[in-house]
Amino acid sequence: MTSFPVQSPPHLTKATVTQTVQPPFAAELFTTLSVHSQYVLHGNVRDDHLVADVRDDGTRRNRALGLEDLLWEGLRRSGYKCLLRYDQVAGFTVARCEDGLDMNTLLQRNTRRVPGRPDEDDGSQAARVFESFARGWVGERPGPPKDNPRYDDYQKPVHAALLVDFASRIPTQANQLSDEERTFFLRCLKIAEEARPFPRSRSGRALFNPVIWLTDGERDLPAWLVTSSVRVRSIGVPMPDLGQRRRMAELLAGQAGVPDTATKLDVGPLLKGAEREEPTDEDVMRFARAAGGLTLRAMRESMRLARARRLSFAEMDQAVRLYELGVSRNPWTGGAVADSIRDGERVIGERVRGQEKAVTQTLDVLKRAALGLSGAQAASTSVHRPRGVLFFAGPTGTGKTELARAVATTLFGSQDACLRFDMSEFSAPHSADRLVGAPPGYVGYEAGGELTRAVREDPFRVVLFDEIDKADKGVLDKFLQVLEDGRLTDGQGVTTYFSECVLIFTSNLGVHGPTGADGRPLSSPAGRDRLPETPDERAAFEKEILGNVRHHFEHTLKRPELLNRLGGNIVVFQYIDGPTARLIFKGQLRNIVEHMRQQGGLTLEVLPEAEKVLADECTRDLHNGGRGIGMKLETHLINPLARGLFDLGVHLTPGTVVTVSRVTVQPDGSVRLDIEAVPGENTQDRRPPW
């Protein structure tokens, strides 16, 4: 590893700057000042931006500037004398100004009440200032009398630019303007059309006094304001790419460990009296990659956070994670999750019966996630991608949802860490709004998204999307973004990161054969009467399921890219066999016994003969897996048991022993139980709570 060379401060070098390379959006604005009188800058307008000074010795020095400083630097080179700012809170203020130019007096004269006119609202007053500004205040500047030699200088236009800050907040709704708002923007459009450029004394170029609107989104202002005139230009300000983030990381690396309390980047010292660190190229690139999706200003804030937490520059990826998620506790580090996975292997196998291969595949993904190796084979991968992704495919009732809950318990110590979404509730168009929040102006916008809000509250989750094949295609497109970039931006513009989550999708897709364009099975080879039993039959069944899943994504959904993001993480669940079904039956019977004890204090005993009949009936048809066993237990034991207890006509007090001695299945399918209830000792004469 090589150390990153710290650049010399500008006052220590004799090289002179021959050229300054501006960001593309700024260069576009500066080169079109002669043809456009108004600009709409939208997007990343609250960020720092990098400029590169090219010196005569061939070196480049990067600088990070805020948008206002960046614009003023370029405007001043073009001959502008001042930069004004307007917002609805502070009104008109002077942001930058050349010496000797009294702009405050001009603004006070413009905003003063005009005698003989009715009081103006804020919009009318602002529009009147815009008009004077566009004319360069020709004839409006206070100056010497006409016989003074300097009189003509004060009649010349003032070369100025105006920033309209927080412009997105001026209209209540851009597509539903009030009368006052419509009048204001119409006057602004008229100003843009009637404005005339003024020649500059040095260059001779005729440039407009530009009005620069700063907005969050391109559609935050009325569309007709931007599109109705060729004098108005819309320019997007993009988020920084990897190259820009690396350059910013290099700038911050130059400040690592500097003992001075004040630096140009305002990040402060790492440690009081500490020596300068020597960050390596690898440290710089790791920081830049970890900051994917962040602004340059957020990178600087991450550096400040690192210094507050006494983290070195080599640990900046941890500081970025702390900045994004807002939590310092990380179960994935320190070996806690690895220990939980080791301890949980046996527990998961007991909770999910008969799916040894599926459990092994799942544990392999979890072990990979615990070691941070997910996606390690890629040359470059997003640091925000989920820790693990699994797609459980197979017949209903085979333990897919149960395994997801077991994974949550193993990783994060509680089944409540499994955030479950039943995707059958998201089958309608636009149902994706429930997950990420409705757009502005729509019902539910204030509430945000169910998925994004829950993950922000606790980023350490197993997120279960049950029956994913029932979701609308628009919802699936959201998952594509999560799987690729590991983040979602909700309707309110807040970004949610899934870098600490395990995502699990479940579906019985492919069990009944490939699906057609309408989503219905074209055939049902996997739903045969005789279930696969031998190893060869089970291997053929797994291959068949995988082929049917691929057919569904490629031909029915036409989303092969989503399947490619899942990769080899598709886990096929087999039909349960007879011995496994018996174990599941015994477990569910124990649950019934325990439930009666907890709810009513009753002791349920099912004699061996009755238990055998129940087991035979409940495990006769295994197409529906463990869920089918539960349904049979409900119809063959729970329902007739409840009916029989009521027919006994006795008070079932806590301590009563209920014995089922015989189970008889009638020819019509009904079930009769032989039941005996014996009150226990030391019981009270009262009814149970249920």
For residue 647, give every residue at least 6 positions away whose Cβ sits within 8 Å of its Cβ, in sequence order, or none. Answer: none
What is the chain's mean pLDDT, rounded?
82
Q: How buried is residue 362: exposed, middle or buried, by Cβ count under 10 Å (0-12/13-18/19+)?
A: buried
> Pseudo-torsion of CA 646, 652, 657, 661, nearest 10°?
-10
Q: Which pLDDT value is given to residue 211? A: 96
User: How far, in Å, CA of 92 to CA of 116, rounded?
Assistant: 23
| pLDDT reading at 524 higher than 60 | no
> Pseudo-torsion of CA 628, 634, 640, 641, nearest 10°?
130
Of the chain, the percentage scoring pLDDT greater than 70 comes to 82
| pLDDT reading at 261 higher than 90 | no
The tens digit of pLDDT for each residue in 648-680 reads: 766 778 888 888 889 888 888 888 888 888 887
- The whole-number average pLDDT for the span 13-38 is 88
Beta bridge partners of 672: 664
171 vs 108, residue with greater confidence: 171
φ, ψ (nearest 5 deg) of residue 58: 90, -5
Alpha helices (H) in 168-219, listed in sequence order: 179-194
Of 237-251, 253-267, 327-341, 629-643, where does mean pLDDT reach its minimum? 253-267
Cβ proximity of 467 and 507 under 8 Å: yes
| pLDDT reading at 224 higher than 90 | yes
Instruction: State the CB neighbour count (10 A cutoff) for residue 28.
Output: 15
- What does the DSSP assignment read for 459-525? -S-EEEEETGGGS-HHHHHHHHHHHHHSEEE-TTS-EEE-TT-EEEEEE-TTTT--B-TTSSBS--G
Q: Which pLDDT value is given to residue 45? A: 94
Cβ proximity of 205 and 35 under 8 Å: no
pLDDT band at 512 (very low <50, low <70, confident <90, very high): low
The tens digit of pLDDT for each residue in 109-165 reads: 766 554 444 555 667 888 888 988 888 888 776 666 666 666 666 678 889 999 999
User: How far, in Å, CA of 314 to CA of 258, rounded?
Assistant: 15
The tens digit of pLDDT for each residue in 472-494 reads: 888 888 888 888 888 888 877 78
Kind of pairing between the strands at 487-489 and 495-497: antiparallel
Report which of 19, 8, 78, 9 is spatially closest to residue 52, judged by C-alpha positions.
19
H/E run at residue 213: strand 211-215
Q: Which pLDDT value is given to residue 7? A: 46
Of the chain, the percentage scoring pLDDT greater than 90 comes to 23
The tens digit of pLDDT for each residue in 442-473 reads: 666 666 788 888 888 888 889 999 988 888 88
195 vs 456, residue with greater confidence: 195
Q: Give how far Cα 76 sits from Cα of 30, 72, 79, 656, Å.
A: 10, 6, 5, 92
Assign 672 to helix, strand or coil: strand
Alpha helices (H) in 52-168, listed in sequence order: 67-77, 103-111, 122-134, 151-155
User: How far, in Å, CA of 368 to CA of 337, rounded?
Assistant: 11
pLDDT band at 312 (very low <50, low <70, confident <90, very high): confident
Side chain identity at 169, as an amino acid letter? Answer: R
- The whole-number average pLDDT for the span 608-632 is 87
For residue 160, give every residue at least 6 positions away whose Cβ sits within 8 Å of its Cβ, in sequence order, or none. Answer: 80, 81, 82, 83, 84, 103, 133, 136, 209
The tens digit of pLDDT for each residue in 318-358 reads: 888 888 877 666 667 666 677 778 877 778 878 888 888 88
pLDDT band at 28 (very low <50, low <70, confident <90, very high): very high
Helix axes 103-111, 122-134, angle to 10 degrees: 140
- The whole-number average pLDDT for the span 351-372 is 86
The tens digit of pLDDT for each residue in 543-574 reads: 888 888 888 888 888 888 888 888 788 999 98
